[in-house]
Structures are given as structure tokens and as C-alpha cells.
């Protein structure tokens, strides 16, 4: 394996681990003590308020992050 191939493999491995970590983190957040609606509201407020980011948008993003591992890793 060439040095370039080793670096590429390291990058792919690190990216895969990052996807697993963020997906697991979202699952832990959504399975925690706060209800999903409270999490969505907190994210909306942190992003500038309900008028800036819709509830549906935040929910879609959370769902997409939770499914990253299934979408990109096999």
C-alpha cells in the first residue's frame, strides 16, 4: 500500500467513525429524558427563533443525522 493509499484509508476510517459517532449521539439525545418536541424547540431558539427555522426542518435534520450510519455505512 502506498503512502497516499494509507492516508486515504485513514481518512475514510476517520470519516466513517465520525458518522457513527454523530449518529449514536443523536440517538442518545432523542432517547434521553427530553421529549423530541423540547429538543426541536431548543434547537429552533438557538438558531434564531421559530420564525427563522421551522419545526419540520429541525425534525428532518435530526432524522437525517440519526440515519447517516444506515445511509452511508454498510
Whether residue 74 has pLDDT greater than 80: no
Mean pLDDT, residues 46-64 = 93
Any alpha helices (H) in the chain, and if so which ranges? Answer: 3-30, 36-46, 55-66, 68-72
Report pLDDT for 17: 95
Contact between residue 22 and residue 68 where contact means Cβ atoms under 8 Å apart: yes
39, pLDDT greater than 90: yes
Identify the residue whose cell numbers are 419545526: 55
Q: What are the boundaries of each domain within the chain?
A: 3-72
Average pLDDT, the chain: 93
Instruction: From 17, 23, 7, 21, select the one nearest 65 (Cα to Cα).
Output: 23
| 19/70 Cα distance (integer angstroms) | 10
- Give residue-wise pLDDT tens across range 16-35: 999 999 999 999 999 999 99
Does position 10 have pLDDT exceeding 80, yes or no? yes
Amino acid at each position: 500500500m502506498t503512502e497516499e493509499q494509507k492516508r486515504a484509508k485513514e481518512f475514510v476510517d476517520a470519516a466513517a467513525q465520525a458518522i457513527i459517532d454523530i449518529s449514536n449521539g443523536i440517538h442518545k439525545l432523542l432517547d434521553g429524558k427530553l421529549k423530541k418536541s423540547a429538543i426541536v424547540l431548543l434547537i429552533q431558539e438557538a438558531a434564531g427563533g421559530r420564525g427563522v427555522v421551522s419545526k419540520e426542518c429541525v425534525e428532518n435534520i435530526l432524522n437525517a443525522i440519526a440515519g447517516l450510519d444506515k445511509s452511508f455505512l454498510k
